[in-house]
Amino acid sequence: MKPTIVIIGAGSVEFTRELLGDIFSFAELGSARIVLHDIDTERLDTAEAIARATAKEAGAQPEILSSLDRRRALDGADYVINVIQVGMHEATVRDFEIPARYGLHQTIGDTIGIGGIFRGLRTFPVLAAIARDMQQVCPDAWLLNYTNPMAMNVTYLRHAAPGLKVLGLCHSVYWTMAGLCELIDVPLDEVSYWSAGVNHQAWVLRWERGGQDLYPLLDQRIAADPELRRRVRVDMYRRLGYYPTETSEHSSEYVPWYLKHPGEVDRLRLNVGEYVSISEANLAEYARVRAELANAKALPIDTDSTEYAPQVIHSLETGAVRVISANVVNAGLITNLPDGVAVEVPTVLDALGAHPMSVGDLPPQCAALNRSFLGPVDLTVRAAVDGDPRLVRAAAMVDPNMAATLTVDQIWELCDELTVAHGDLLPEPLRTKLAP
C-alpha cells in the first residue's frame, strides 16, 4: 500500500514530526510516498531531515521527496495535509501589537476576532492557489486542513473549490475529552462522547461510561476545587450546562464577557497576548530540532500524539472504521445553525470516505453562541469572495469581543491600520483603507 501523502507547509517542523510519527506508526503506511513542500529552503531541508530521521526511528521505509514547487509536489497526491501559516511570526506579532494599542485584548487571535479575521484574509489567496493546483494535478485527492482559522478556511474552500474533498481537522475535541477524563479519574478508552458545534466552540453534548452520565462527577470535582472554577470554560460550563471544547484562552475570545474586564481577566487567570509567546517558543523549538538533527540520524517519536490526519488516511486506505470530529460545510447536519458555513460534527471514516453525522438541533444556548461566532466567519469569507472591504469591517463590528470593547470608529481605524500593515498578503481588492 503506497498512497502519496503531501504536506504543504512542512517547514512547521514540530507538527510535521508529529504527523509523520503517527503516519509511520501504522504498518500499512510505512511504505507511503511522502512529499514535503515549503517556500522556505532551509525549513524544507530541515523537514526532509526530520522525515528521514522519524522514519528510521519508526522502522518505516517510505519514499521521501521534497519540493519548493507546490504544483510539482501535489502532482499525483492522494492526500494533502495543509499546515501553512501565511506571514509566519511577523504577521502574528502585527495581529497582536496593533490591536493592543487600541485597548483590544486577545489571547490566541487565530479563530475569529481581529486576529482571526486578518489571518483568514491572508490565508485565503494561498488556499485558493492550492485548490487550483489540486483541481489540475490531483482532483481526487483529499485536502486535510489544519490551518487556522479553521471555520473560515473550510467555508472559504466551499466557494473557491466546491468540488474539492475537504476535511478540517483539529485536536481540540480529543484533548478536551482526555482532560475531562483525567479530572474525574476515568480512563478515556472507557468513555463514549458526542460533541458538535463549530471549531474551537463545539460542545460536549453527551459523555458517558457504560451508560452512566459523567457530567455529575465533573460537577462534584468542580464544586470541590475553587481554583478549577477560575477557568473560562469551567465558568461557561457552569452557566450554559455544556462543556466547550477549546481551552479557556481560546474560549475567552469568542464571547463578550471576559477580556474587556480586568477583574475577569484576573479571576479567570487569562494570559493576554499568550499566542505571541507560543509563536516565539515555536521559533525556539525549530532551532532546537535543527540542532538535534545535527547530532542524530533518528528522532524519538511522540507516542502521545494522536492527530486525526493519519487516522483519516489509514481508515480510507484500509477500511478501518473510526469516528472523529471533523469540520465540514453544514448541509442540514446541525439544524439550528446556518447552512453553507463550516461546522464541527462527529464523522465516520471507512474505505468509502468520510461521512459526517447528522446532529439535529444543538441546545438553544449553545446554538445562540455558535451563531454569534459564525457572523465574523461568514462575513470574512464573503468579503474575500465578493472583494468587498466593507464586509471586513462588518465582520469586525459583529465580533463579540471587539463589539464589547471598541467603538465602531475604533474598529474601522484598526481594520485600516492592519490592512496597511499586512499589505500584499491580503486579497488585492481588500488592500485599501475605507472611509465609513
pLDDT in tens, 92-101: 999 999 999 9
Q: Is 382 a domain residue?
A: no
pLDDT tens digits, one per residue of 187-228: 999 999 999 999 999 999 999 999 999 999 999 999 999 999
The C-alpha atoms of residue 197 and residue 388 are separated, in whole angstroms, by 28
The C-alpha atoms of residue 404 and residue 261 are separated, in whole angstroms, by 10
Percent of the chain with pLDDT over 70: 96
| C-alpha cell recorded at residue 239 | 452557566
Q: CATH no. for residue 114?
A: 3.40.50.720
417 pLDDT band, cuts 50/70/90, is very high
Give residue 38's domain range. Answer: 4-89+110-169
Q: Is 154 a domain residue?
A: yes
Q: Is 184 a domain residue?
A: no
Cβ burial of 135 (10 Å; 0-12, 13-18, 19+) is middle
The C-alpha atoms of residue 119 and residue 113 are separated, in whole angstroms, by 10
- pTM, full prediction: 0.95
Residue 194 is given by DSSP the state: E
Phi, psi values for residue 163, rounded to 5°: -90, -5
pLDDT tens digits, one per residue of 13-50: 778 888 999 999 999 999 999 999 999 999 999 999 98
Q: Is 403 a domain residue?
A: no
Q: Is 60 a domain residue?
A: yes
Q: Please tell me the predicted confidence (pLDDT) of residue 17.
A: 86
Kind plus residue range of the DSSP H or E element containing 213:
strand 212-213
Contact assessment for residue 283 and residue 10, using Cβ atoms and an 8 Å cutoff = no
Kind plus residue range of the DSSP H or E element containing 348:
strand 342-350
Q: Of 37, 171, 200, 314, which is the active-site residue?
A: 171
Kind plus residue range of the DSSP H or E element containing 356:
strand 353-356
Question: Does residue 288 surpass a pLDDT of 90?
Answer: no
Q: Is 195 a domain residue?
A: no
Residue whose C-alpha cell reads 490551518 in the numeric block: 147
User: Is position 171 annotated as part of the catalytic site?
Assistant: yes
Q: Is 10 a domain residue?
A: yes
Residue 59 is given by DSSP the state: T
Q: Is 422 a domain residue?
A: no
Domains held by the chain: number: 1
